[in-house]
């Protein structure tokens, strides 16, 4: 999810892709602040110090920060609260990105966007050298210890997840069982494969692995919010965009895809105004489920024969790592779809292009050999070859006279 090509201030005393600054220990660079990690990654540059407020940093957010090539991460909240073994902090540490943890929300009032700061062990220093924040500096050992403790609390999270699942089933049983509330769409889905793309785990690798499948089957391409941008980046044009429209770009919204805005269960759709301001027509889909789930439910209700999921959540740890009670809808959605839903990794492992490039080359060569043999053994063929040989000799003679 890297959005930039150049690099700013780098790790002190080393060079990653820019110039090092010899200002003492730690890392230094311009600070970027946002309480929502997803919003911050849209404006980060390599070498920035990212200041976030993110309890239990998840894998997707960590991958985004690594992709932006930040020099360090400062978290106002605990990066590992102990509720469950979240995956983000380990990803940051393994990428060599310093993580200063649980510094308090006051950091957002003490620093200005773009100001030069230095991350020095357990302290974040402002451009005057004063301590702007102080917390816990994570390393591989502290992260491993915190993850071990978090695993002990996993049973409580399982109980809460089960309770959320039952509550969701009561609220949305009409949608889950009978498809009540699924809007009418103009995109033709009946009898076709559908590819649902979420900008989640390993989405780039999965899209690359599915190129042969997409070329041969031409599935309906549905991008869930930023997943629509992921499709465009991979060279495709989405047929439909579904979501609350908080992470899809304006250009992709104007690409001609049918737009379905995810609304709250009471009908409110905050993302609808943005779409309409762009002059794009849209319909709403009120549901308490996540956007990726309503995309799958819509595809199923409209007659898709197979639904291939890219970047979605498939395991219990991924459900918890998403950090929302609404992930209960994902569990029930997968139960409803059953064998119709296939993860992209499974498709890429089982499916191979019907005719590979090597096979095509061999077939063409074999055909040419067969034609040559037929011409050589038949009387008509020999006459034809003699004529071709005469024409070639005449051409060579003409060239010799031309340059003599």
Does residue 3 carry a pLDDT above 50? no
163-166, long-range: CB < 8 A, 24+ apart: 164/325, 164/326, 164/327, 164/328, 165/328, 165/331, 165/332
User: Which of 190, 275, 189, 287 is CA-nearest to residue 239?
Assistant: 189
Question: Positive or negative, the Cα torsion across 226, 230, 235, 238?
Answer: negative
Average pLDDT of the segment spanning 63-67: 92
The DSSP bridge pattern shows strands 131-134 and 123-125 to be antiparallel
Domain spanning 27-151, CATH architecture: 3-Layer(bba) Sandwich (3.50)
Does residue 342 carry a pLDDT above 70? yes
Q: Is 258 helix (H, G, I), strand (E, B) or coil?
A: strand
pTM: 0.60
Split at pLDDT 50, 70, 90, the class of 344 is confident
Split at pLDDT 50, 70, 90, the class of 371 is low
Between 72 and 158, name the one with better pLDDT.
Answer: 72
| pLDDT score, position 202 | 80
Between 321 and 4, name the one with better pLDDT.
Answer: 321
Distance CA 48, CA 63 (A): 15
Q: What percentage of the chain reaches a pLDDT higher than 90?
A: 48
For the ranges 27-36, 92-101, 217-226, 353-362, the lowest mean pLDDT is seen at 353-362
The DSSP bridge pattern shows strands 116-120 and 193-198 to be unpaired
Between 403 and 47, name the one with better pLDDT.
Answer: 47
Q: Is 398 helix (H, G, I), strand (E, B) or coil?
A: helix
Does residue 109 carry a pLDDT above 50? yes
Q: Is the backbone of residue 159 left (phi > 0), alpha (psi -120 to 50) or beta?
A: alpha
| pLDDT score, position 179 | 60
Mean pLDDT score across all residues of the chain: 81
| pLDDT score, position 389 | 72
| pLDDT score, position 349 | 58
Does residue 132 carry a pLDDT above 50? yes
Distance CA 183, CA 297 (A): 11
Residue in the structure block whose two tokens are 């946002």: 34
Distance CA 404, CA 400 (A): 6
Split at pLDDT 50, 70, 90, the class of 59 is confident
Does residue 188 carry a pLDDT above 90? yes
| pLDDT score, position 370 | 67
Distance CA 116, CA 130 (A): 12
Does residue 323 carry a pLDDT above 60? no
| pLDDT score, position 264 | 87
Split at pLDDT 50, 70, 90, the class of 298 is very high
Distance CA 210, CA 52 (A): 34
Which pLDDT tens digit goes with each residue over 113-131? 999 999 999 999 998 999 9
| DSSP states of 14-59 | S-SSS----SSSSEEEEEEE-SSHHHHTTT--TT-EEEE--SS--H
Average pLDDT of the segment spanning 269-291: 91
Split at pLDDT 50, 70, 90, the class of 278 is very high
Burial group, residue 92, by CB count within 10 angstroms (0-12, 13-18, 19+): buried
The DSSP bridge pattern shows strands 116-120 and 123-125 to be antiparallel
Average pLDDT of the segment spanning 193-214: 90
Are 295 and 241 spatial neighbours (Cβ–Cβ below 8 Å)? no
Distance CA 190, CA 300 (A): 9
| pLDDT score, position 170 | 65
Split at pLDDT 50, 70, 90, the class of 102 is very high
User: Which of 223, 249, 254, 253 is CA-nearest to residue 236?
Assistant: 223
Split at pLDDT 50, 70, 90, the class of 4 is very low
Does residue 369 carry a pLDDT above 90? no
**Radius of gyration over every alpha carbon of the chain, rounded to an integer in angstroms:** 28
Does residue 339 carry a pLDDT above 90? no
H helices of 172-256, in order, are 173-178, 203-209, 211-217, 226-233, 250-253
Does residue 1 carry a pLDDT above 90? no
User: Which of 49, 63, 290, 298 is CA-nearest to residue 184?
Assistant: 298
């Amino acid at each position: 999810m890297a959005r930039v090509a150049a690099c700013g201030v780098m790790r002190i005393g080393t060079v990653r892709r820019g110039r090092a600054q010899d200002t003492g220990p730690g890392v230094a660079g311009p600070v970027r602040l946002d309480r929502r990690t997803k919003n911050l990654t849209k404006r980060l540059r390599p070498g920035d110090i990212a200041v976030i407020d993110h309890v239990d940093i998840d894998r997707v957010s960590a991958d985004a920060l690594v992709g932006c090539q930040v020099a360090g991460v400062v978290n106002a909240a605990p990066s590992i609260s102990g509720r469950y073994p979240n995956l983000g902090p380990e990803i940051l540490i393994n990428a060599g990105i310093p993580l200063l943890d649980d510094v308090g929300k006051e950091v957002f009032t003490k620093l200005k966007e773009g100001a030069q700061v230095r991350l020095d062990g357990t302290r974040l220093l402002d451009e005057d050298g004063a301590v702007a924040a102080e917390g816990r500096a994570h390393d591989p050992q502290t992260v491993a210890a915190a993850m071990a403790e978090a695993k002990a609390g996993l049973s409580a999270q399982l109980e809460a997840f089960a309770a959320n699942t039952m509550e969701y089933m009561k609220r949305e049983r009409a949608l889950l069982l009978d498809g009540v509330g699924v809007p009418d769409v103009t995109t033709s889905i009946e009898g076709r494969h559908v590819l649902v793309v979420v900008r989640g785990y390993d989405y780039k690798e999965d899209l690359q692995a599915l190129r042969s499948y997409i070329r041969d089957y031409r599935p309906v391409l549905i991008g869930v919010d930023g997943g629509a941008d992921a499709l465009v980046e991979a060279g495709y044009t989405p047929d439909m965009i579904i979501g609350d429209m908080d992470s899809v770009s304006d250009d992709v919204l104007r690409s001609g895809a049918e737009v379905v805005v995810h609304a709250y269960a009471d009908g409110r759709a905050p993302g609808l105004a943005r779409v309409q301001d762009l002059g794009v027509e849209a319909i709403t889909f009120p549901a308490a489920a996540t956007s990726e789930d309503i995309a799958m439910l819509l595809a199923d209700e409209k007659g898709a024969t197979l639904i291939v999921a890219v970047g979605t959540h498939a395991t219990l740890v991924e459900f918890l790592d998403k950090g929302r009670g609404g992930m209960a809808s994902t569990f029930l959605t997968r139960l409803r779809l059953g064998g119709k839903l296939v993860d992209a990794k499974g498709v890429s492992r089982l499916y191979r292009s019907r005719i590979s490039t090597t096979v095509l080359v061999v077939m063409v060569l074999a055909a040419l050999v067969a034609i040559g043999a037929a011409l050589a053994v038949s009387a008509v063929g020999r006459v034809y070859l003699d004529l071709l040989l005469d024409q070639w000799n005449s051409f060579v003679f003409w060239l010799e006279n031309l340059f003599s």
